[in-house]
A = this chain, B = another copy of it.
Amino acid sequence: MIDSIENLKEILKEKGYKLTPQRRAILDTIIKNQGEHLSTEEVYDYVKKDCPEIGLATVYRTLQLLDDLGVITKINLDDGCARYELNINSEDHQHHHLICSKCGNILEVEVDLLEHLENEIQKNYDFEVKDHKVKFFGLCSKCK
């Protein structure tokens, strides 16, 4: 969805928000670490290299804001803290995660394959599906 810092300013301006060096640095960090699922503290540690004076509260606030704006997505890996990842396709549904119960490694699943299930849900429950969160637990190739 977001190509670079260039259009972050536009996205912010639309809602009356300002582009600050802190916000820029935080998004830079997330883009640079694409593929990771960073916690707030982890983003804080990374971003301090570019922006040593930044406060942890600002990181919490900014990640929440970027999530509200649809730039990033908050995910829950049941490890006691929120994690975030960059949104690639804003239109598309959130991708699935495979979580290895043994080594804790996270794999991402590109295919969605939920159309059939979602159609059944629309039909049987009269529920209009907008998005989903899907986690699979099990053993990865190395651990089984």
Contact = CB atoms under 8 A, between A and B. Distances in A.
Interface in A83-113: 96, 98, 100-101, 107, 109, 111, 113
Interface stretch (A16-24, A36-44, A131-139): A131-139
Interface of A: 76, 78, 96, 98, 100-101, 107, 109, 111, 113-114, 116-118, 120-121, 124-141, 144
Given A76-B78, A127-B98, A141-B127, A136 B113 contact: no
**Copy number in this complex?**
2
B127 A107 contact: yes
A130 to B, nearest CB: 4
Contact of A138 (B96, B128, B138): B128
